[in-house]
Amino acid sequence: MATTELYIKNMVCPRCIKVVKSLLEAEGLEVANMELGKASVNGQIDAEQLNRLIPALQEEGFLLIDDKKQQLVAAIKSIIVDTVHYTDLDDMKENFSTLLSTRLQKDYHLLSSLFSELEGTTIEQYIIQQKIEKVKELLRYNELSLSEISYKLGYSSVAHLSAQFKKVTGLTPSQFRQTDAGRIPLDKI
């Protein structure tokens, strides 16, 4: 049976996957596969189902992406979010450029150019933003030392993490722990 792939913006966490899956099933669609930023359903989606699905997704803060370039950028973001937030970067055997090229089966320079063109920032800056948000989350939990956080996120040293954190947030990690400074929702980065 043929599947239809849907690319969905702002799908950035496992809870988002559950919500989108629920919306698709409410439309009578059989979900074949779900991952961050993408859903595959068995068969075709008719116009009537699509007309109900689009506002239902929007009501929950999601957008259906139909432009191929935007789909590719959404896929890049999903891979980065998934890698930074849901895997240990210290176990990562390859760099992000190789990971993205391999997973998307595209030349990294093409991916990088397209991302910069559509997002107004580089893939590298996006990765840094995601890593800093993960650092903020781990600092808030107060369960790991800065050294453990640095190792977990694949930084070469605590000094490198601290310098990057201060450059992005204006605070040192220690200052951040002592303030009520908030985190940025992942779909807003």
| Residue 172 φ/ψ, nearest 5 degrees | -80, 160
Which range among 37-46, 57-66, 86-95 shows the weakest confidence by mean pLDDT?
A: 86-95
Q: Tokens 């998934």 appear where? A: 82
Domains in the chain: boundaries? 3-66, 67-189
Query: Has residue 111 got a pLDDT over 90?
Result: yes
CATH fold, domain 3-66, is Alpha-Beta Plaits (3.30.70)
Which of the four pLDDT bands, split at 50, 70 and 90, describes residue 189?
Answer: low
Whole-number pLDDT of residue 181:
66
Residue with tokens 């951040």, as numbered in its chain:
176
We find that the CATH architecture of domain 67-189 is Orthogonal Bundle (1.10)
**Per-residue pLDDT for 183 more than 80?**
no
* Residue at token pair 């049976």: 1
Mean pLDDT of 40-68: 92
